[in-house]
Each structure stands twice: as structure tokens, then as C-alpha cells.
Amino acid sequence: MESFKKTCEYAKEKGMIVIADAKRGDIGSTAKGYSNAFLGKTQIGELEESIYDVDFLTVNPYMGTDCVKPFIEDCKKYNKGIFVLVKTSNPSSGELQDLKLENGKEVYIQVSQLLEKWGEELRGDNGYSSIAAVVGATYPEQLKQIRKIAPHTYFLIPGYGAQGGKAEDIALGFDKNGLGGIINASRSLMCAYKSDYWKEKYSEEEYAKATRAEAIRMKEELLSAIK
């Protein structure tokens, strides 16, 4: 956790927006503790201090509104944001998230509608709220569907690269202006030196150069698909 804290501080020093993919979520009182640590302030002795002070935090909503409310309150108070799990990129996500409710809607549809409601008071000048969603690129049809249902919800889109999501799939999560999402890639960047694109050009010791090259390649591929 100390390493995590130092990493967050280093990124902030470089002017980066820091998203903590911690997937926190619990009953109200515990959720408040998590929110204090990542988004707000915690009482340490006689002082209130930020522990991690990230800009965004991923949140698991599957215990209902009261487990998300403390995070939303801190988003308002400290000008922060959250990405709430709606339709995740992992293979078995459908075991729960695709189940149909009595009203005929899938669970992920219900969550995306709740998200639009939760974010109403935190919409910015461009129409998007800081109460945002995690929607995986590995499920393009659901990605397209959720974009229509939640037009004011910004998307964090995992699954591109190592998990198999393609640029043309990801394009479905953006609006007509090419806005509304941020792409998450981890293994495909960290281990780019092993990929077919770069293994002949960069050694393991040159992993950072390979990562940079892959990030540029991904950006160009994504921009081409979105446009």
C-alpha cells in the first residue's frame, strides 16, 4: 500500500489524472471509510489528511445505492469522480450482470440507469458526469446499448489489447463527437516488448521504449476507429 501511495504521488507530480482501480464497495459505514481514504480525507490524530488522494476510484455497486452514496458525496465535496462497474470485461461477467429481472431488463441495464440518475447533479459543461461507468470492450453490443441508455455517463473501457477487445468494438462506446470514454490497457502495454509488434525491435531491458511505442500505436488505431 505504501508503494501504491508513492506511485499515486509520483503520477500527480507529473500532472497526470490518477484512476485507482481498487473496485471498492461495502455497506455504508465501510464504504465511507474507503471513500475517505481514496477520495476524501481521514482523521489522523488531530488532522484531517488525504491518504491516497486519487482523482477517480472504481466502485462495485452490487450492494445497492447506500454502498455508492458515500463515494458520490465525496465526489461532490472534493471534486473527484468514480467509475462504477456496469458491464465488466471478464468472461463470466454474464453469470450475474446479464441476468434478466422481473421487469425484463438485464442487471447491467438497471445499473446503467441508476448511474445516470446518480450522476445528474455532477454533470459538467460538456454534458458528462463525474459519476462514470466501467464497460468492457469485450462486449461490443452491450457497450453500444449502454451508450444509448446512459448518454451523460463517461466510460472507462477495459478489455482492449490483451483481453481481445478491438478498436472497432471500442468505437461503439463513444458519442457522435468521438468523446465519452477512456481506454484502459495494462498487460498489453507493460509487456509490449513481448508482443509480435515489438519483440524484434526491443529487448526486455527496453520495456519502457516498447511501452511508449505500443501506446502510440494504440492511440493511432483507436483514433482511426473512432473517427
What's the mean per-residue pLDDT of the chain?
94
**Cβ atoms < 10 Å from Cβ of 84:** 27
**pLDDT tens column, 17-38:** 999 999 999 998 999 999 999 9
User: 220 with 129, same domain?
Assistant: no
What residues pair up with 123 in beta bridges, in sequence order? 129
- How far apart CA 140 and CA 170 sit, in angstroms, is 7
User: 163 with 199, same domain?
Assistant: no
Pick the catalytic residue from 6, 12, 14, 23.
23
Q: What confidence category does residue 148 fall into, taking pLDDT thresholds of 50, 70 and 90?
A: very high
> How many structural domains does the chain have?
2
User: 108 with 200, same domain?
Assistant: no
The answer to whether residue 23 is catalytic is yes
Task: Write the CA distances from 149 to 105, 113, 175, 227, integer angstroms.
Answer: 12, 7, 12, 22
Structural domain of residue 137, as residue ranges?
A: 2-184
User: 39 with 133, same domain?
Assistant: yes
